[in-house]
Amino acid sequence: MPVYVKVDEYKDVLDLLNMIKNKLAEAKELLSRINELKNEEDAELELWHSGIEEIEKKIEFVDKALFRPSML
């Protein structure tokens, strides 16, 4: 059984579908950008973590050097 749709309604549906496709493409772009920012943030946090570990090692070395009992 054939289905009849008014041309105006058909055009409205096509316009709506195009709008949805455009919004979906925008959402994908935004998600991609968010992922890039997250990766940049993770890399920066790793640098900070490495820096803190390096400082901890240096402080431990200085602490041992200053407070090590001297051998007479």
pLDDT for residue 71 is more than 60: no
The per-residue pLDDT for 3 is 76
Report pLDDT digits (tens) over 5-64. Answer: 788 888 999 999 999 999 999 999 999 999 999 999 999 999 999 999 999 999 999 998
Within a domain: 71:
no
In a domain, 72, yes or no: no
70 vs 52, higher pLDDT: 52
- What is the pTM (predicted TM-score) of this model? 0.64
Residue whose token pair is 């890039």: 36
Q: What distance in Å separates the CA atoms of residue 33 and residue 29, rounded to the nearest whole number? A: 6
- Angle formed at CA 61 by CA 43 and CA 56, multiple of 5 degrees: 30
Query: Does residue 27 belong to any structural domain of this protein?
Result: yes
| Domains contained in the chain, number | 1
Note down the domain range covering 2.
1-66
